[in-house]
Structure 1
Amino acid sequence: EPEMDNIALAWQWALAQADCTFFAQSVDAVSSYLHHNARHAEGVRLLEAALAVCGNAAHSYRLRNRLAQLHSWGATDMVQGQALAQAAFRAAHEASDWVEAAYACFQWAITLQRTGDFEPAWQKLEEGLALLENSAADWLRASLATRLCLNAPPLSRLAEGERYGRLAQEMAQQLGQPLVQWQAEYALAVLYWHMGDLPQAERHAAASVAALAGDDFANFRAVSIQMQAFVLHRQQRLDEALVLMDAAEAVAHQVGDQDLLASLWSAKGEIALEQQCWADAEQVLQQAQAIDQQAGNKWRLSQTLFLRAMALHYLGEVREAAVLLQEGLALADSLREPFITFVCLSTVLRWLALLGETAVATDVAAYLHHRANLVADQLEEVVALQAEFDITIGEAAPTWESLLAQLQQIVAQHAAGQ
């Protein structure tokens, strides 16, 4: 709090003096402090006030860049965050400020990733790396490589993601900065989790927690604790996973990290479904849905909608469940393959089987069997669902377009109460 008070005082004085040079020089440290302490809403107010005074000054793109960061990471407004990053990129490029242009690529990519536009995000991150070819900004190069590692699983570019993750890890070790080391280890944990290599995921998640010892960066350490919980969940160690999720949730509440809360609540809802606690699942998934709808995080929202529909179905709200699935499929259609999560498809497979819609369930199962990015434990889950509901499949798999059309038709019928 003393630091926050000092920042606010300095900022107010600079606003009164219209000291645009101060803003350009201090905005990096100030926005980093606010971001690392999850004070995104306060940061947005401070930077918007500065832009109102100095929006046309030289280097004002630095303000726009950091405001984009606060919007995208704080899950406040993805559209605004992207527009700010685009404007900052153009201005920095015109000024031949390649580090700021690369930083704008980074923030631009974050907004694209959160709205499910993974291919353009990948291109922006690689563009940012190329801009830093002759730069000494190794911390930013490591951050861009980290995001490429994190962005690889939805694009099924696992080998490239691993290469970028190892590059980020190597650079982090050279720099010796805890936060850079944390993000590299965390990214590798996420990558190996998606690959189904749970021992590697567990090892890197633990390393990312260890990188942030002490009281600093509690919210980032909580993100890594959540990753440890995700690994335990995949290992069906549900009670242990929930203990870690509770610990991460306490920190998220403490610092006001809405994005982390939505992620935790979505995961808790999935576990509650597995434990057949339908009402608990519905409640916590509704909370996650509200945050992601406001922030525009389409990728995670689609998954939450499918899970909540399943909870409503088990609670006897069959029509309401189908209405939510309609929303989820509309998002799925806008995201396109291969960005639809396994959770979405396996959930709709169970829903179809419960309703006796065997023909379409057969097509979903066949589609999942032929999916390029399915890993061993996910395939086992599909096989278990087939055995549970006596679903057999042929050798041919439907196209995504034909499968989506079938799903939309059948969901619309149930949403209409037919």
Structure 2
Amino acid sequence: MDVLLGMLEATVVTLREGVEAALVVGIVLAYLRRTGQGALARHVYRGLAAALVASVGAATLIHRLGLDPENETWEGTLMLAAAALVGSLVVWMWRAGRRMREQTEARLETLVAPGRRQGAGLFVFTFFMVFREGVETVLFLGALSGAIGANPLYNALGGGLGLALAGLFGFLMVRGSLRVNLRRFFMVTGLVLLLLVAKLVANGLHEFFEVGLLPSTELVLEVVGFLTRESTSVFVLVLLIGLPAAVFLAEAVVPEPSLPPAGETAPEARKRRAELRSTRLRAGTAGVVGLALSVLLVLAAVAAARGYDPAPASVRPTGTVLRIPLAEVRGQPMRKYTVTLDGVSVRFFALWREPGGAAVAFDACAICPLKGYHLVGDQLVCRNCGAPIPFDTIGMPGGCNPIPLVSRVEGDEIVIRVEDVAAGRARFASGA
């Protein structure tokens, strides 16, 4: 059972990592085919192949050099660059869409003139969108190799299934969109891509806030935190998949015209009905697969969201220190405490790490509003923005990490000096 759960985890994570890239690439390919520019698709496939090879190479290099793949500056830059690229795609599609309505009789052949410039642009766009997710996916699969049973094959199977599902959705999107109403197609895909832009911008800004590259305010952090937290990310991802799926399902149930075209012969009628059935089948398959993936992501998110957030227990100083029985911390996933200093309630938490022993920190970070942390699985998670905090980084300052609180173990107790707790009083007094 543990092996199956681990494989499911790998499937869901790689599905989430890959579906954004598959969706965007699928939209581009569908757009090119719908506008009679299928010859340009080769540049998209070349960019896809190059990105897959480069992802494996870059992930291998990062692992061998011991570089930090979670570098906030690097991740923030990639996310904002991706947002700019996707935003430019939306502008490109909308501009072309207006021209398309004016040139219907010309079969849309001049919307995106084939050439080196367009081909290079499609190659770079596809390469970047796939490479951005590909490196992270390869590193994730490598890190998980020893965690899903003794055989890394389980990890590869789970992760490969997730990527295959993402690719399948992208493929079905291209196939299912061949006869979808153009106006509806552009409206929905434009909305989907704008949602993706908002998500990428919020994540990129949050990475920069963590390292102090950009100033922020409580209101900005509330908005960014809402867009970056796990529940919102899953909701956006479900919309990214579900909106096109709904369009395909709507197309699949379009009734056949009650009156056949004037002068239609019997062979022409049979051909028209066969094409209609084929169109409905492709659109319906794409819609059903999209909705099934949405349900899978929602169920996985619900399972992961069952975090642990205990109510804080009130403690009082004993002289100049606070004393917490070590047995309390060892017996629970996490314990929270509150102490009142000069009318201000100061919260902190304690948990037991294996290895590492007791870890104590304030229930607040230096940048987010005072919403504290909760446990989700084996990770500490910020309640405002959803940033995961590895246990071994508790006690380190910076970013979304909890503000360090000095403590020591004496016998069977955790001892914290009141003056160290008082050092964090201002953070809780501000209420920000």
Quick check: TM above 0.5?
Answer: no
In proportion to residue count, which structure has more strand?
2
Greater RCO structure (CA 8 Å; 6+ sep): 2
TM-score (norm 2): 0.26
Larger Rg belongs to: 2
In proportion to residue count, which structure has more helix?
1
